Structure 1
Amino acid sequence: MSYKILVVEDEPDINGLLVKILKEADYHTIQAFSGTEAKLLMEREIPDAILLDLMLPGMSGEELLHDIRGNQHNNVPVLVISAKDALSDKVSLLKEGADDYVTKPFEPEEVLARIQAALRRVGKDTSARKNLVYKNIKLFTDSRKVTVAGSEIGLTAHEYDILYLLMQNPEKVYSREALYELVWHGGYYGENNTVNVHVSNLRKKLKEKDSGEEYIQTVYGIGFKLQ
């Protein structure tokens, strides 16, 4: 199923970027450039989730969130995307009913991961995504099964999630910090060796099934990518 995401952002470039990110992930999108426009759109059609900027013309993002939580739309996941990065702003919006808070500038993968998590929390199935293929690796998103050169390999949940991220964007270098935040959903403080251990284990498992390929490249000083 392809879910509808309402993007409420007054900056045309950012609004367009979010729509592009969502469409590439097979979501339907609805665009609004003010809080008032978003409220009118929701009176005609209730989206499956909302990406909400705060500094909007007319009705502000905070006012729109309060309105959403006060009427029949109160179960719709709302993800705030804002340049305000103070802890007090985040805490305040989460207390007011936001499901998540992403600060600008944002990474496309983080936005998608947080949308998927928000949809899962309200019981919407986000597993029916496109299967991914890279060289001799096939990743089946419905079953979370992975085969290499035709043979299935057993991956832990975190190993699968790391491989899924890498295969979504084979040319992208993911920093250890980004992988930790996207896979473990927590802050990375530099001394944690968790990412390195999981990537090393994943690399070994891929190598066991396809000894002729080195799938994961370490980009020294930055992170990891597929090669």
Structure 2
Amino acid sequence: MAIALSALVEEANNYLNVSRIADYCPNGLQVEGRPHVQRIVSGVTASQALLDAAVEANADVVLVHHGYFWKNESPVVTGMKQRRLKTLLAHDISLLAYHLPLDLHPEVGNNVRLAHELGITCEGTLDPTDPKCLVWVGSLDNPESPQDVARRVHIALGRQPLLVEGDNPVRKIAWCTGGAQGYIDQAIAAGVDLYLTGEASEQTFHSARENGISFIAAGHHATERYGVQALGQYLARRFAIEHLFIDCPNPI
């Protein structure tokens, strides 16, 4: 069974409240392909590797978290950008991308789905009055050592995380997927035991160490694999079409 591309895009846009969220890139349909959809291939980033895999899988739509046309990037279509767009256009494949709307969503969002993978009970965002707050807070059922939490992350994500060990056992956790190390000060102010994100900067170590908080960098790609899978599964159920998640490994 095939459905109209326009219906798929409308459903995804409405479900993620795209019109209400300002972002650094266009959310929704970024490249238009064939008008009907039977199979979605999802992945974290619209890399050449994912596009080639989508062609091999006979995809009609590629659904990603990291798409194209970012603020302040060059508008010229040369080199890597030319090759990627050429692949999509030559095979009549649409590109559907959702950045911040996919981070924020309370059901299929990256942050909520990561908490599910790690066994963290979600308690909401650090600022419930701000609909654009990206940092979530929650807790473990029982206190664990920082090393045990790092092992939990390793097992769930299949990747050895970077751990800066704090002073206390961990029960209350704040987290934000991807490149969100800059939010560590908000986590410290909230009094959590551990802050978890995808990446780390040089100063992150000092902020964690001098404030007695544990910090885990679990990988940008690794922490953002789950939202796009959940969105793809939602759309597949909604329209009785096929969905295939393809993980193109990325150690960062």
TM-score, normalising length from structure 2?
0.28
Higher relative contact order (CA 8 A, sep 6+): 2
